[in-house]
Structure 1
Amino acid sequence: MLKVTVWNENRHEQKNPAVRDIYPDGIHGTIAEFLKAEGFDAGTATLDQPENGLTDEILANTDVLIWWGHLAHDEVRDEIVKKVQQCILDGMGLIVLHSGHFSKIFKTLMGTSCDLKWREANEKERLWVISPSHPITEGVGEYIELEKEEMYGEHFDIPAPDELIFTSWFEGGEVFRSGCTFKRGNGKVFYFRPGHETYPTYHNEQIQRVIINAVKWAQPVKREQPVYGNAQPLEEIKEKKGEGQ
């Protein structure tokens, strides 16, 4: 069974009653619930738990890590970020949601500022499917429409994605690369834009479908891991004429 850990800093839920009303079990709890209903072995982890919720044991038992953060990116310990980065390079999948674009782990993997424009004005978002044959878009129509969301606008300071899956249009006129895939080492990364904490975005069935599909896509490939470092020859290397004299 595919093992998923949903990480959330879990601060908005503690500070803002409006967020708590939408996500009484936290954003992490809501996401884990629909993943469990899909048949995944889904657990949660939060910032204020020991080792920021990401102990060696939890990471060793995670096939795909989902990340939501906003208020407290700087509170994630650097040594935890390095451990997560190594897990991804070794093959663990990572799904970064919404304001997780500014998380230490995403910026580390991208190597850029990951900055963007934003506006919170209760405006409509239409996420257009750019890659209809991609497995992440399975079961999704030509677009997903959200009645109210926070705006993110270009320029989004990330490397060119390996694949562009969704592009958003907002009521105020901006557009944004809202679904992007990347390969890092042996691991796969998917950034998915929607999910501002004061809107019920993660209760939307189409948004849930994208995240479910992304978990399946990002799971580690079952194969022998590459061996790095100094290597013995597979074949006999014949002495070349003139060498060794």
Structure 2
Amino acid sequence: MVKVTVWNENRHEKQNPLVGEIYPEGIHGTIASFLKEAGYEAGTATLDEPEHGLTDEVLNNTEVLIWWGHLAHDQVQDEIVQKVRQRVLDGMGLIVLHSGHFSKIFKVLMGTSCDLKWREADEKERLWVVAPSHPIAEGIGEYIELEKEEMYGEHFDIPAPDELIFTSWFEGGEIFRSGCTFNRGNGKVFYFRPGHETYPTYYNKDVQRVITNAVKWAKPVERQRPVYGNAKPLETISPK
């Protein structure tokens, strides 16, 4: 059973009654709930907990970390960011959702600004599957259609993804790389765009299926970690 921690800053739910009505258990609680239904061991962590809920014990027992943030990226302690980064490099999977593109952890792993265009106009979004054989797209049709979502548009200032799984089209005309994978050290990273807090996106069964698939894809590979540093020769080196 994969051990998942769903991290959410949990600020919109407290400050905006609409968000609190849509996600009464918080975005993190909603995501953890459907992951549990899928058979995963899912816990939650939030910004205002000690160490943002990401203690050494929690991180060391997390195989895949899911991250949602928006209002309070700058309030995440740099020390915690570096601990999460190291866990990813050591093999922990990381799934970054929606406005988490501007989180400290995503930017430090990408090495770019991760900036983009955006607009809130209740637009239709179609996420087209552009890698139909990828395990993250398993069980998804040709596209996912969301009646209302926030628009994100290109250019998305990220490194070229290792794999592009979804490309979004918006009613206003923009397109966006909405499902991107990256390898960082021994860990896998997946960025998935949908999930604006004022829409019930995380109740959409296809969106849930993608996140569930991504957890399975991002879990650590069961193998010995590579050995780094000074190495003794495997063969005898003849004197020169």
Report the TM-score, using the length of structure 1 for normalisation: 0.97
1:189-239 deviation per Cα after TM superposition (whole angstroms, max 9, x unaligned): 000000000000000000000000000000000000111100111111121
- Residues of 2 paired with 1:233 and 1:49: CA distance? 48
Secondary structure at 1:228's aligned position in 2? coil
Distance in 2, matches of 1:76 and 1:207, equals 27
Partners in 2 of 1:150 and 1:76 — Cα distance? 24
Amino acid at match of 2:32: A
Q: SS at 1:178's partner residue?
A: strand
Q: Any residues of structure 2 matched to 1:71-86 within 5 Å, and which? A: 71-86=71-86
1:162-201 counterparts in 2 under 5 A?
Answer: 162-201=162-201
| Per-residue deviation, 1:36 | 0.3
- 1:16 counterpart = 2:7: no
Runs of at least 5 residues in structure 2 that lack an aligned partner in the other structure: none
User: Rg bigger for which structure?
Assistant: 1
Deviations 1:95-123 (A, max 9, x none): 00000000000000000000000000001
The runs of at least 4 consecutive aligned structure 1 residues that moved more than 6 Å come to none
SS at match of 1:231: coil
Which residue number corresponds to residue 243 of structure 1? none
Specify the alignment match of 1:157 in structure 2: 157
Distance 2:62 2:71 in 1: 25
Per-residue CA distance 1:63-115 (angstroms, 9 max, x = gap): 00000000000000000000000000000000000000000000000000000
Query: In the TM superposition, what whole-angstrom CA distance separates every residue of 1:137-162 from its partner, at most 9, and x where no partner exists?
Result: 00000000000000000000000000
Match of 2:38 in 1: 38
TM-score for both structures, normalised by structure 2: 1.00
Give distance in 2, aligned partners of 1:224 and 1:163.
25
How high is the sequence identity, in percent, across the aligned residues? 82
| Partners of 1:106 and 1:213 in 2: CA distance | 20
Q: Specify the alignment match of 1:139 in structure 2.
A: 139
SS at match of 2:74: helix
Give matches, 1:42-53, under 5 Å: 42-53=42-53
Q: How many residues align?
A: 240
Please give the alpha-carbon distance, in whole angstroms, between the structure 2 residues aligned to 1:23 and 1:40. Answer: 20
Structure 1 unpaired stretches of 5+: 241-245
